[in-house]
A and B are shown apart, each in its own frame.
Chain A
Amino acid sequence: MKLNSLAFRLFRTAAVWAVLVLPLAGLAIDWVHSRDTYQSFDARLSQLLTLNIAFSTDRGGPEPGIPRNVGEPLFELAHSGWYWQITPIDNSPGKRLVSTSLASESLPLPSKLGLTPDRYNIIWNETRGPVGEPLRIAETIYNSGDDENPHFYSFLVAGNLEFAETRVRDFRVPLVFSLALAGLGLVLSTFLQVRYGLQPLRTVERRLSAIRSGEAEMLEGKLPAEIEPLQTELNALIQSNQDIIERARTQVGNLAHALKTPLAVITNEIGDDASPAARKVAEQAQVMRDQVSYYLDRARMVARVDVIGRVTEVCPVAEAIARALGRIHRDRALEIVVECPADVRFQGEKQDLEEMIGNLADNACKWANTRVLIKISVETRASERHSRRLLISVDDDGPGLTAEQRAQGIKRGRRLDESKPGSGLGHSIVVDLAQSYRGHFRLEEAQLGGLSARLDLPAA
């Protein structure tokens, strides 16, 4: 997973959620649970205190007695951590009474510590019991007399806090476990969501790649509603790209037509006129003619570079060119043979393939004695970017070229023999086109005896 990816963004969100928010939620839940536990513990103490007062003062007289059973057997069990204590204060009559569980011990009165009572007149405190157990104490001051002759008694109930603390602790284990599980589930579900949710984007990526490799022309197929506008826009962009190229090509063609006819007129108007002015015009017209051809070819190539990939069936192109050349050279009994396995495809524009094969085959036909062979094959090479390579060789049985001439033959405008018609641009156009496809062009000696022109281009 790449750092700069949607998948990572979604993962990061889930991870931040799991690491920050889940512990905070855990703390909040724990706090609420602790509060409820201690509140219900306090409520229980408060209830026991009320029962204690009620059951120790229901015999009449100002002096409280030992309360009847208040429903808590732990008051009877020694050092259970659950105690009650009744203490006369301010010289009220009677003696201090304690629960059996407290035995001979006594508990300090919170009222003597200057603590403030709550709205129910209960003073709360925490302390340690006779055996060091943590205690929660609830105390209230009760007047068993009247306003004129008051008798104050401290009623105190203590509960063992370990009960509450254990409940709180016991709750934390499943809480942490379940939150950790939730976090893990969140990350896992995010992973699945990312995989499932981003699946259409991967589909788009695959289809775009198919367009680049020339297997498709448009981004087709049904995509989710969120990506549909993107699909529409991309298709419009591809279409617009193709339209621009097509328009550029048309304009280039129009420019060619517009310039070449006047050039033909100028060239022919001079004719055989040998005056210096006429020769200069003829020379410059030739320069213009070469430049027009050169830059029209460049314009065609520039218009094509970086165009979304196209795929061209090779055999029909080679066969059409062989057919056209056969017609042109039919009185020379020239045998033009195309050897092309079925389904060979060039990764590039049809027009460019036509220009390359056309120029090479045209040259071969001009020089061949009896035979021209256009041979096409496909080779797979793992070392190159486009591992499938289209190999085209155009061989003739003409006089051929020396190694030095072959090296010169691929230079621009170099005509090795002025006796054959042509602008001399054929091979260099092929060189430029082949290079624009990151391909190679070279001239070799043909097995037929003449020249072998070889192209190495990306195959689809």
Chain B
Amino acid sequence: MRILVVEDDPDLNRQLVSALSEAGYAVDKAMDGEEGYYLGETEPYDVVVLDIGLPKMDGISVLEQWRRADRNMHVIILTARDRWSDKVAGMDAGADDYVAKPFHMEELLARIRAQVRRATGHARAEIECGPLRLDTKTARVTVDGQPVKLTSHEYRLLAYLLHHAGRVVSRTELVEHLYDQDFDRDSNTIEVFVGRLRKKIPAHLIKTVRGLGYRLSPETDEA
């Protein structure tokens, strides 16, 4: 899952990027409205954390322009101006949720998880696929109840496939959603990580759909 953080305060920006990276997300950052708008316009993010009070272009304008351009990623606005008029303006501009400053990082992470679930059509924090189970709150993966140790890249890949279980996910989509913009996007790395994952979870769960990509599915007959 790839997240964009648009926050002008360098300390808060750093904290957000760090906390989200630790939580297993690929994170890009922008320090002002214009940069944030550009990234949101050109990169496929799953969730954007957008501050309202930004230099160069305010958050509401950024959001409105994204929505006008049919950019439909989920957006959580961060606002120090926590009056209801500000919240309503933010929601009317197309936000999906708001978090008022100052906030606890856990609260923001919970809201982000909720948005990711919403984006992929999952109602609960736990996502299952056959014996495979992901607790998005704790980022724990189990197979038949037994915990599986994953590196952060493996976790991101598996989490993305789990969120989109049953659907064919192309390599390009995986690259776009799993790595931040600074990452060396060699599509072979995906195959390397898929290979590693198949050794840690039942290998038949991740199917290769030739010429199209991968599909996570519990059915064995397609293996």
Contact = CB atoms under 8 A, between A and B. Distances in A.
The CB with the most chain B CB atoms within 10 A, among A253, A259, A261, A421, is that of A261
Contacts of A28: none
A358 B91 CA distance: 13
B104 A331 contact: no
A256 B81 contact: yes
B216 to A, nearest CB: 22
Interface stretch (A65-73, A227-235, A263-271): A263-271
Interface string A26-56: 0000000000000000000000000000000
B69 interface: no
Contacts of A324: 87-88, 90-92
B15 interface: yes
B9 A358 contact: no
A355 B83 contact: yes
A34 B117 CA distance: 114
Nearest to A257: B80
B192 interface: no
Contacts of B96: 327-328
A85 B72 CA distance: 134
Contacts of B90: 324
A331 B114 contact: yes
Given A264-B12, A323-B92, A328 B80 contact: no
B107 interface: yes
A366 B107 CA distance: 14
Interface string B162-189: 0000000000000000000000000000
The CB with the most chain A CB atoms within 10 A, among B12, B83, B103, B107, is that of B83
Interface string A315-335: 000001101100110110000
B85 A351 contact: yes
Contacts of A265: 9, 11-12, 15
Nearest to B82: A256
A48 B14 CA distance: 129
A268 B15 contact: yes
Contacts, number: 87
Interface in A423-446: none
The CB with the most chain A CB atoms within 10 A, among B82, B90, B105, is that of B82
Given A324-B92, A331-B123, A261 B101 contact: yes
Interface in B1-44: 9, 11-12, 15, 19
A265 B103 CA distance: 9
A321 B15 contact: no
A321 B88 contact: yes
B160 interface: no
Interface in A232-268: 253, 256-257, 259-268
A63 interface: no
A354 interface: yes
Given A328-B96, A328-B97, A421-B107, A289 B102 contact: yes
Interface in A153-204: none
B118 interface: yes
Contacts of B84: 321, 351, 354-355, 357-359
B27 to A, nearest CB: 15
A327 B91 contact: yes
The CB with the most chain A CB atoms within 10 A, among B9, B95, B101, B104, is that of B101
Interface size class of B (residues with CB under 8 A): 20 to 34
A59 interface: no
A350 interface: yes
Contacts of A260: 80, 100-102
Contact of A267 (B83, B104, B117, B118): B104
Secondary structure at the A interface, as helix, strand, loop or mixed, is helix
A331 B114 CA distance: 9
Contacts of B110: 421
Contacts of B101: 260-261, 263-264
A250 to B, nearest CB: 10
Contact of B15 (A269, A355, A357): A269
Given A331-B114, A354-B88, A268 B105 contact: yes
Nearest to A327: B91
Contacts of A359: 84
Contacts of B19: 268, 271
A253 B88 contact: no
B53 interface: yes
B100 to A, nearest CB: 8
Nearest to B12: A265
The CB with the most chain A CB atoms within 10 A, among B19, B91, B98, B114, is that of B91
B91 A328 contact: yes
A257 B12 contact: no
Nearest to B13: A265
Contact of A256 (B9, B80, B95, B98): B80
B98 A253 contact: no
A271 B110 CA distance: 15
Nearest to B96: A327
B12 A268 contact: yes
B54 to A, nearest CB: 11
A324 B91 CA distance: 5
Nearest to B11: A265
Nearest to A319: B88
B11 A269 contact: yes
Given A256-B80, A264-B103, A358 B87 contact: yes
17 contacts: A257-B53, A259-B80, A260-B101, A261-B12, A262-B11, A264-B103, A267-B103, A271-B19, A271-B105, A285-B102, A324-B88, A324-B90, A324-B92, A328-B91, A328-B97, A354-B83, A359-B84
Given A331-B118, A351-B85, A358-B88, 14 more contacts: A260-B80, A260-B101, A261-B80, A261-B101, A264-B12, A268-B12, A268-B19, A289-B102, A320-B88, A324-B91, A327-B91, A328-B96, A330-B118, A331-B123
